[in-house]
Structure 1
């Protein structure tokens, strides 16, 4: 395979970034906490999501209990309160780990539109973002606007990034969760945005799915037609490069979950399905499933498209996903294309088995943890009240 090689690692200028989004709601039904993330293999954790008050434009927490108040243990075992104190303790224990707040998420485009419709709301958004960084110990700001709809939104996005970059001290990063679908990418003023961004997290997943596709398809393929459409990660990367973004600022997004198609008569992409067929003892009654919960007994890997699938005939269930082999090939691709690194949604999904773990296989193929970004995080937040007990 072209990208399966064991040559001397090609290091990114400051080391590769390996990033993962941590969803605050995962502490509930999934019983997954920030402290469970294997930070040896990660350089950045993105905290999802911070929301926006539609009336004022100021930032607000989506769940203050788990964000700021839940009794937890620190990286040393001492008591802390809230996910954000736990994450800060992880930063203190690992000076290469950055924690970024991600603002927005799916279904929040109306909040960004409300902010951008009023100059005072925009000013409040920017000022409160800077305040959150200093109060809660973040190393940067990530904007997840899904998605700007037209050129007015695109111009406003540039203005939002310009304002944030002008108010954020240089040691703090500014990034976005960047779309992959052509209709969303074409709206963006990429070159104008790029001057303000530290890096771009390319969401190279959800290319196909039961909720919108006409046929079964790989949802995170690296190359070629995925079975339902022409979307693939390589085309996304090349488009952003053609628009003027340096490859070292492009972070390849990958899924830690599979997408499920129901009512599939044959185990192949490009086949019809019926979402109403959800029968059988092994059926997964959702459209997505954590990678670690996918049954691997009937796994098939497509080395041309670089994606895995699993089919259960008794329930006519077809699952598409990245596996360990996908991760290793995508790491080779990252090196070959001189990208900035890799990103995953979300941290709960990875397998605890090192042989199957997506991030471990990816990092090993990159060249091991020694080739990762080793720049220091920020641990000085003298005005923070929330972190004061940890800063003593």
Structure 2
């Protein structure tokens, strides 16, 4: 940036810090060029690309005879035709005087058929007489700003030609993707650690079946800064090297119909959320470091998964009085900095959160503020019951049952949780129902009565990957347990979920199958909820449950 007669470069994200030689965040590059520096090329050309400089969306540089424009935040990525963070604008103009340059702007590059798009040529330079547009579908228009509607799905190359009074022309173009947009969100979480034993990589994600992908997780450091969890492991899926021999997120993020978000926290990494929310300084640090990572990897937003504001998460989490109020302050700071990034980068950034299905955990949250600040909310409508209970039970019942012996039977099921949230300030379309693509198992079930359901038990068997909490992934249940000689499947027509029970093994497993997922999807449609969220992709690696969602959508 230019300030006080000099060019300054920010070493990292900063807000409100005045450029000065004594400020570590700023590096002074040199005096502002007055146009007489003798630099090669036209004086209107941007500066040469600098591998150490940070560029954001819209910044332009000179490199190897061309002008390049950054599409988003980038640093150290050399401009080239293969670099997806750079757009080649034109050749460097070596002539004297002002040049003629077409500049095509578009307000939406991915739309549904029938949506109106605005195209803007006001950023073009020169003594322009005419602005001519070709939309790639046989339609044309004239003018500085025009609108157009594409009726059929497909990719269209839109071309702008500007002409000056001498007849010289300049051309710019952009690609518009027109696709049938789903009416409901389908959000899936990708676990960073699924790359190991599960051998499930970003390239395995069925992008054609989801609208949003949440990367789980980033962590919160003790000082409130956001960071990677085991950075080498994170880079192995975010930006893998060629010898890793799998597709990373860096090859997926340009998908025009899918949004990618970094989820922060989760059950195991919410320890220091209270520190992050404690003061304005820590909230700014949390937001700026999270947004830096988001921009670096060209993601589309942030998902705040604090489990939980005010307590109720892991026993070693830091909890303070006032955390629920400060949760809203944290969201507000993140939203504020995302708004600034949107202005700088020329793209929309989402802010979402995952919160509990437990009404008691949510009491005291400022739903009015949170509904205003969040684009949508993922409600974790699962883990109602598990090995932490006294009796076997459904882990994610759609409805309650009269026979349920648990102390929270009257309000601890999906319908009750979603009814609670719809009675808050959140619009129903802001709410996504959570689906577990895994089951919870119960060991040493004391009685075969009711096929093992609602019976005392002790402990749990090993899960799919040896977990002592008995979590079994759906593909494992379907392929190896049900149906089988040992396990009989039952259906609760009140709760609308299945379970399997082995009398010989004294084991019960509660889970969702295609039938229950289909019914929950229908429930979301009937109640006008915004969509479905699930944990996680690798639990349904054969896409049986995903297919059930889409069959019912």
Q: How much has 1:285 moved relative to structure 2?
A: 5.9
Contact 2:432/2:533, CA 8 A, preserved across alignment: yes
Matched, 1:146 2:307: yes
The match for 2:491 is: 301
- Equivalent residue of 1:110, what SS? coil
Alignment of 1:1-392 (within 5 A): 15-55=183-223, 57-69=224-236, 79=242, 86-92=248-254, 94-149=255-310, 152-169=322-339, 171-210=348-387, 212-225=388-401, 228=406, 229-230=408-409, 231-264=412-445, 265-266=447-448, 267-275=451-459, 286-294=469-477, 295-297=481-483, 298-352=488-542, 357-366=544-553
Distance 2:217 2:503 in 1: 38
Higher strand fraction (1 or 2): 2
Q: How much has 1:108 moved relative to structure 2?
A: 3.3
Higher helix fraction (1 or 2): 1
The match for 2:67 is: none
Contact 2:398/2:497, CA 8 A, preserved across alignment: yes
Q: CA deviation digits over 1:94-151, x for unaligned, max 9?
A: 3111110000111333311111234322211111122112111111100010111176
RMSD over aligned CA atoms reads 2.5
Contact 2:195/2:237, CA 8 A, preserved across alignment: no
Q: How much has 1:72 moved relative to structure 2?
A: 7.7
- Equivalent residue of 2:398, what SS? coil
Contact 1:80/1:86, CA 8 A, preserved across alignment: no
Contact 1:334/1:340, CA 8 A, preserved across alignment: yes
- Equivalent residue of 1:252, what SS? strand
Contact 1:218/1:227, CA 8 A, preserved across alignment: no
Distance 1:191 1:20 in 2: 26
Return 5+ residue gaps in structure 1 as ranges: 1-12, 367-392
- Equivalent residue of 1:114, what SS? helix
Q: How many corresponding residue pairs?
A: 340
Distance 2:301 2:245 in 1: 19
Q: CA deviation digits over 1:294-316, x for unaligned, max 9?
A: 11112222232011101112210
The structure with the largest alpha-carbon Rg is 2
Distance 1:82 1:61 in 2: 22
Q: CA deviation digits over 1:198-223, x for unaligned, max 9?
A: 0000000000011x212111011111
Contact 1:72/1:80, CA 8 A, preserved across alignment: no
Segment of structure 1 superposing worse, 212-221 or 200-209? 212-221
Q: CA deviation digits over 1:274-303, x for unaligned, max 9?
A: 117x59xxx996421101111111222223
Q: 1:251 to 1:323 in 2, by over 3 A?
A: same
Distance 1:161 1:299 in 2: 44
Q: What TM-score comes out, normalization by structure 1 length?
A: 0.81
Distance 2:284 2:212 in 1: 27
The match for 2:94 is: none
- Bigger relative contact order (CA 8 A; separation at least 6): 1
Q: How much has 1:65 moved relative to structure 2?
A: 1.7
Q: How much has 1:91 moved relative to structure 2?
A: 2.9
Contact 2:261/2:300, CA 8 A, preserved across alignment: yes
